Amino acid sequence: MDAFYASVESLDDPSLRGSPVIVGGLGPRGVVAAASYEARAFGVHSAMPMSQARRRCPRAACLRPRMERYRKKSAEVFQIFRSFTPLVEGLSLDEAFLDVTASLRLFGGSREIAAEIKERIQAETGLTASVGLAHNKFLAKLASDAQKPDGLVEVEPGRVHAFLDPMPIARLWGIGRRTEPKLKALGILTIGQLRRADGSVLQPVLGKRSEHFQRLAQGDDDRDVVPGRPDKSISHEVTFDTDRSARAELLAELQRQTEAVARRLRARRLLARTVTVKIRDHRFRTITRSRSLRACSDNTNTLYRMARALFERWRESHRNTPVRLLGMGVSGLEDAEKSAYEQGNRLDSSSEQSLDRVADDINRRFGDDALTHAQTLRRKD
């Protein structure tokens, strides 16, 4: 998907269309999560400090992320994907690999399928997508990035070297900030140069990975599309604009995070076995505390009680310690429909489950925070 978060914001607010839009944290420690192409023209990119992004593009509309909204739009897009093939491997909310080999007889050629997917995404969601078409995942990913936004690029088997050779070596998966300068020092600047390089030259720099990188430079990638990878965990965290030490404020934030995580569990019909709390203090020391529940749960109160207990245990020895980051997550996830816990061996009372369902319905209708615990109102934005 093209500039997904920013595109959703422009879709929901037509006054933003054609203008620079930046999505991310708005405080002094905020980081850019996504930028529209209009903002990118000013040099704004994801992971950039928001303060720097604002200096580069002072006229941009800077917005906080609305993750539940993005997840909803993502689900609409993935539903379109699965109408063409069950072999859909999601990488994130806005990116996926599709294997359409078995769908060719039903829908026509691969290029026709790619074009139809793009058309349906535009018609049914109002968003644009860039599609890369190739015989393996590595090439398809690079092709999808080659003509953004709203592009469709096909890498035919006979054109692989012509496509890859001019690209900078940093486009190879795994060539990062440490490895790239070492290769450049050897005069290897492009994928084509790496492909043609002697293995004995690459070995001292890349070690055992030299063969792997040369295979990628050849355009070889034998990984299959793996659909439906189950979630291993669900988490939520926030870096505060300024350090927080007030217990009430921290607990309010923890409550808000637990509500968000529990909603995601219920939306995906999952139950969690383990609760984890993550705390980073003003000295950048990070502490994580985890504990398993007696039975799996998706109930907000059950998860919050455990998260709060973990937080309070940390606070006993760190009273008044300024907190820079606070996070809450769950793991040990099970399918709610298949889990035996769903048949009556759950910690949660039926009344708590009913309250969760009512809250979820209200928040779906009127926004994520339409109905929330009063404690979260203590949190300062």
Does residue 95 have an active-site annotation?
A: yes
The one-character DSSP state at 223 is P
Instruction: Give kind and range of the element (H or E) at residue 33.
Output: strand 32-35
Tokens of 314: 């940390």
Q: Helix or strand or coil: residue 229?
A: coil
Give the Cα separation of 212 and 272 in Å (integer): 37
Return the closest-CA partner of residue 165 out of 101, 216, 210: 216
Q: How many CB atoms lie within 10 A of CB 133?
A: 21
Strand pairing partners for 274? 292, 331
123: tokens are 């018609």
Name the active-site residue from 38, 76, 95, 112: 95
Q: Is 370 helix (H, G, I), strand (E, B) or coil?
A: coil
Q: Coil, strand, or helix at residue 288?
A: strand
The two three-digit tokens of residue 250, written as one number: 């921290």
Instruction: Give the catalytic positions in this structure.
Output: 95
